[in-house]
């Protein structure tokens, strides 16, 4: 192997944020099998140093697919008239949470399209208050909102928020979104969430058309700049009813998966103690995609506990796995696949981000990061 590549891995493993953007880009570009194996093994070693060979789980409920946004890559975009829109009732969401808790999930993720309205804010507030007695870690992933809405949801019991920046490059963001979608507002939301004391989750997709390893390296540096506690990253999978189309550099699922695994590994090597989710899109690309994500440095899985009858309505991309798998089946399959790679699921544990736990008193955004 290239000795310069190897020495990058050694330096990155020693301490967080040890590498420059060009050096991160070099790791991101690892293409031959030997380099990729070494990259993933180094990231796995850093992960195990911080969280052991243990996997934190969150039950995912996709609470609705209506969306006011029109992101050019997403199957749920508001212009996609083929999607039948649904919204779970508060009772249904609470029932998922109760069943999840009974099964050993101590954390829940509520995700949906983006809706900004007083009625929606109040609805989510009501759900959070009903879920609070279950004493679960609750992550929201409900898009951009006002500071006031974020505050109300925090007060009602949400402790984590996942808002992917999608790309740290404003010009590239403008290519992925139509007008009216504002990168600066997304960054401002991340800063507000941090200030309010949420565990902050962000992330990007990889394998997007026009994206380079340097851009992804800058994305990883950005995660450090906003002091992210958790990351959700996965390969972009083109959707036939969304206009973005595929990337020439990522013509097939195998290449997309490779990029996704490299991104997880590079982010782990740069940030060390954050929670990193193995995104569902990895599993859409290969049956063992999630497990390979764990072996490349991820430590969080989010099995889909959305009632089966609604699941097909939440297709960001084609090939979404487990459309008809019940929550029991999902949990059993998860146990088997995680055990097969020598890891253990942490049931009945919230699995808070070690990064957050260590800095809980310091929530001010970096002063160097100016919008
Ligand atoms: N609406 C909220 C938002 O955008 O933040 C939360 C739900 S949104 C569906 C969650 C994530 O799905 C997005 O942040 C985006 O990165 C990802 N996503 C959308 N379309 C995708 C696609 N075609 N392939 C892979 N991931 C996709
Ligand atoms: Fe809506 Fe999120 Fe899809 Fe964008 S990525 S269209 S905000 S659901």
* Average confidence score pLDDT of the chain: 93
Least confident piece of the model among 34-38, 67-71, 128-132, 328-332? 328-332
Segment 310-329 shows an average pLDDT of 80
pLDDT (0 to 100) of residue 54 = 97
Count of Cβ atoms closer than 10 Å to residue 254 Cβ: 11
* CA–CA distance, 359 with 118 (Å, rounded to integer): 33
Give 11's DSSP letter.
H
- What band does 367 get if pLDDT is binned at 50, 70 and 90? very low
pLDDT (0 to 100) of residue 321 = 76
pLDDT (0 to 100) of residue 362 = 33
Least confident piece of the model among 15-19, 246-250, 288-292? 246-250
Pocket test for ligand 2, best of 80, 113, 205 (most atoms within 8 A of CB): 113
- What band does 316 get if pLDDT is binned at 50, 70 and 90? confident
List the structure tokens of 33.
């099998």
User: Could you tell me if 140 and 162 are in contact, meaning their C-beta atoms sit under 8 angstroms apart?
Assistant: yes
Does pLDDT of 212 surpass 70?
yes
Q: Residues with beta carbon inside 6 Å of ligand 2?
A: 67, 69, 71, 74, 76-77, 113-114, 143
Indicate which ligand has the atom closest to the C-alpha of 317: 1
Give percent of the chain above pLDDT 70: 96
pLDDT (0 to 100) of residue 114 = 98
SS3 227: coil
- Closest ligand 2 atom to residue 166 Cα is 5
Give percent of the chain above pLDDT 90: 85
Residue 177's region, left for phi above 0, alpha for psi from -120 to 50, else beta, is beta
- Ligand 1 within 6 A of 220 CB? no
Indicate which ligand has the atom closest to the C-alpha of 238: 1
pLDDT (0 to 100) of residue 327 = 75
- Ligand 1 within 6 A of 316 CB? yes
pLDDT (0 to 100) of residue 154 = 98
User: Could you tell me if 1 and 35 are in contact, meaning their C-beta atoms sit under 8 angstroms apart?
Assistant: yes
Indicate which ligand has the atom closest to the C-alpha of 193: 1
pLDDT (0 to 100) of residue 288 = 93
SS3 18: coil
Does pLDDT of 125 surpass 70?
yes
Does pLDDT of 371 surpass 70?
no
pLDDT digits 0-9 by tens, 138-179: 999 999 999 999 999 999 999 999 999 999 999 999 999 999
Interval between CA 48 and ligand 2 midpoint (Å): 33
Beta strand residue intervals within the chain, DSSP E:
54-57, 59-64, 107-112, 137-141, 160-162, 199-202, 205-206, 230-235, 275-278, 300-301, 344-346
Pocket test for ligand 2, best of 67, 110, 177, 279 (most atoms within 8 A of CB): 67
CB neighbour list of residue 167: distance below 8 Å, 6 or more residues apart? 173, 176, 204, 208, 211, 215, 219
CB neighbour list of residue 322: distance below 8 Å, 6 or more residues apart? 283, 304, 311, 330
Segment 214-242 shows an average pLDDT of 97
Residue listed under structure tokens 């764990």: 294
pLDDT (0 to 100) of residue 198 = 98
């Amino acid at each position: 192997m290239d000795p310069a590549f190897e020495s990058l891995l050694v330096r990155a493993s020693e301490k967080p944020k040890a590498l420059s953007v060009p050096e991160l880009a070099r790791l991101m570009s690892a293409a031959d099998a030997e380099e990729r194996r070494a990259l993933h093994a180094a990231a796995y070693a850093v992960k195990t140093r911080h969280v052991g060979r243990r996997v934190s789980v969150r039950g995912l409920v996709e609470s609705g697919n209506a969306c006011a946004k029109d992101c050019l890559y997403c199957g749920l975009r508001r212009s996609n008239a083929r999607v039948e829109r649904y919204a779970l009732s508060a009772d249904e969401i609470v029932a998922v949470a109760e069943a999840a808790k009974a099964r050993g999930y101590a954390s829940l993720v509520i995700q949906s399209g983006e809706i900004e309205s007083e009625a929606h804010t109040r609805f989510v507030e009501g759900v959070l208050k009903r879920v609070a007695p279950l004493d679960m870690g609750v992550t929201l992933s409900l898009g951009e909102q006002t500071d006031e809405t974020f505050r109300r949801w925090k007060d009602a019991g949400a402790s984590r928020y996942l808002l992917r920046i999608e790309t740290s490059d404003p010009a590239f963001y403008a290519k992925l979104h139509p007008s009216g979608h504002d990168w600066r507002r997304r960054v401002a939301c991340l800063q507000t969430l941090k200030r309010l004391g949420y565990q902050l989750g962000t992330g990007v997709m990889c394998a997007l058309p026009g994206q380079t390893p340097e851009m992804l390296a800058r994305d990883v540096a950005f995660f450090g700049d906003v002091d992210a506690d958790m990351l959700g990253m996965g390969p972009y999978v083109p959707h036939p009813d969304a206009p973005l189309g595929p990337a020439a550099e990522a013509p097939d699922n195998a290449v997309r998966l490779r990029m996704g695994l490299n991104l997880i590994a590079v982010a782990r090597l740069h940030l060390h103690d954050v929670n990193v989710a193995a995104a569902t899109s990895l599993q859409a690309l290969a049956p063992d995609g999630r497990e390979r994500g764990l072996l490349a440095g991820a430590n969080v899985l989010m099995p889909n506990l959305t009632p089966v009858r609604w699941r097909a309505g939440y297709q960001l991309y084609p090939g979404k796995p487990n459309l008809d798998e019940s929550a029991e089946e999902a949990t059993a399959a998860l146990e088997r696949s995680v055990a097969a790679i020598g890891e253990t699921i942490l049931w009945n544990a919230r699995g808070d981000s070690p990064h957050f736990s260590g800095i809980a008193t310091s929530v001010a955004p970096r002063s160097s990061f100016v919008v």
